[in-house]
Amino acid sequence: MPPSEKPPNISITPQESGRVVLRLGIVAFVIYLLFQIDFLAITACSLLGVYWSSSLLARSSLSGLRINISTKQLRTRCNEPIDARLRLKNENKILPIYYPTVSLREKETRRTQAFQFRGIVLPRQEVTLSVDPSLNLRGLRYLEATSPRSHFPFALHLARSNARSKSAEIIVWPRSEPLDVDSLLNDPPRYRFETSGELTFHSKTIEASRIRDYQAGDPKPSINWKLSAKRDKLTIIEPRDERQERYELHLELSKELWPTELAFERMLRQVTALVSELSRRKLTQGITLDHVHYPLTNNRELIRFYDSLATARPGSQAVDVPAPPRRFHLWILPAPNSGILLAPQTAPKFERKAIR
């Protein structure tokens, strides 16, 4: 133990069996004083000696325990177990430590998870436990091993130490919430058609953008005579792009859109599911969070975006003035059912009030 490190404080709590032994010892001693029976004197001394020696041994044994919690998994999702290592080292020269139990808790929470080594840690020995705790809150978190405890040499006393150990910081992403992505992409309705064996989504504005006037030099077979007759001028419908379209998403974290903590956290969970599914389908190329753009073309960029969601906080800035719709650009907005929706532009203020 380093010179600057203080030895842990040990508290001793008598168990029910210990209280029974203490009562029997006191009763035997009182009867001996009344009737002077030698056998009761021996019994009283034995019971009281066992009680006090158990307390002393429990304290001395646990004072030599050192704990350390570590993990190589520096990212996880809420409520998903992480792979961690809990090291228990017995620095005693003589006394072993029987079945030590250590509590793991998350930063700034009261939720604890207990892990027990089902064996004996011999003097000058170290054991490692593979544990799988989970973290409930998103953000920069860490695990704290605390309150190691043990019975020695039997369950008369529970010794508890105030030794602590903290892991490295862990980035906890929002967990993914079930989301019907197809419904989001089809509200407002979008047309589906086959391109290269895959379904691609196109909005009405995208279909309309294929229509243009005939220009000198355009091949005559490309003229749509039926539509030209309706418009009373030569009109061309450009062929659809055979490449799969990739959307650019926009998300503003303003309190105007997400006024409560519950709405904000649920939105983050749904955005996580949305981005994950669109990336799997290769339907998105990036997302903008409050004017910060995050490309989403590979796993490294996805991890960078999820890291930003882990530490995201609602902002107080005003929502941008609605801009004209842009092709393949979608804004994530609150929906009337406490979910999210996709729109071709940011919602005007009167629409946001109705959405709430």
Q: Per residue in 332-343, pLDDT tens?
A: 888 877 788 888
What the chain holds in terms of domains, given with CATH numbers, is 1-173 (2.60.40.10), 181-200+244-355 (no CATH)
C-alpha–C-alpha distance, residues 117 and 131, integer Å: 11
- At 21, the pLDDT band (50, 70, 90 cuts) reads very high
Task: Decide if 116 contacts 125 (C-beta within 8 A).
Answer: no
- Chain-centre distance for alpha carbon 240: 42
Question: Which of 4-18, 113-127, 224-238 ranks highest by mean pLDDT?
Answer: 113-127
How many other β-carbons are positioned within 10 Å of the β-carbon of residue 23?
12
On the question of pLDDT at 356 being above 50, the answer is: no
For the chain, counts of helices (H) and of strands (E):
8, 23
Q: How confident is the model at residue 276, as a pLDDT?
A: 92
Q: For 200-219, what is each residue's pLDDT tens digit? A: 344 444 455 567 888 877 78
- At 247, the pLDDT band (50, 70, 90 cuts) reads confident
As given in the structure block, the two tokens for residue 272 are 């996580």
- At 311, the pLDDT band (50, 70, 90 cuts) reads very high
Q: How confident is the model at residue 221, as a pLDDT?
A: 81
The pTM score is 0.69
Q: For 164-193, what is each residue's pLDDT tens digit? A: 999 999 999 999 888 888 777 765 434 333
On the question of pLDDT at 277 being above 80, the answer is: yes
Query: Which residues of 91-222 form beta strands (DSSP E)?
Result: 97-98, 101-106, 112-116, 120-121, 126-131, 139-141, 143-151, 157-161, 164-166, 170-173, 191-195, 198-202, 211-213
Provide the mean pLDDT of the chain. 82
**What percentage of the chain has pLDDT greater than the value 90?**
39
